[in-house]
Amino acid sequence: MATEASHVSGNPGWQPPLTPARSPRWHDPNWHPGKGQRGGECQRVACDNRNAYWFNQTNGQYYCSSCARTFNEVSRRNGQPPLCELHAPA
């Protein structure tokens, strides 16, 4: 099976990714075990923060406090109830 790096293997400046978050598949949810799950990784595609304890009531996924705050701020501005609620660890 060809690797995703094969097309850049001729580039001497290229270094293999150090972490999954830096890999070419960083945007692939399947690359992140526990993504979107309570206490796992934030569900937001562009975010790899851990400790996702904010429950998004519209899609049933969990987000980090930073992303949840952003969502809730948008809801507040639109006069809607908060999108995410904190399901803190016991």
Considering only CA atoms, which of 61, 39, 59 is closest in space to residue 50? 39
Q: Measured from the CB atom, is 5 or 26 closer to Zn ion?
A: 26
Taking CB under 5 A as the criterion, the residue among 32, 44, 62, 83 binding Zn ion is 44
Closest distance to Zn ion from the beta carbon of 63 (Å): 5
Point out which span in 11-19, 20-28, 40-48, 71-79 binds Zn ion (CB under 5 A). 40-48
**Spacing of C-alpha 83 from chain mean position:** 17
Q: Counting contacts by CB under 5 A, is residue 49 touching Zn ion? A: yes
56 Cβ contact partners less than 8 Å away, ≥ 6 residues apart? 43, 62, 63, 68, 71, 83, 84
Give the interface with Zn ion as residue ranges (CB under 5 A): 42, 44, 47, 49, 64, 67
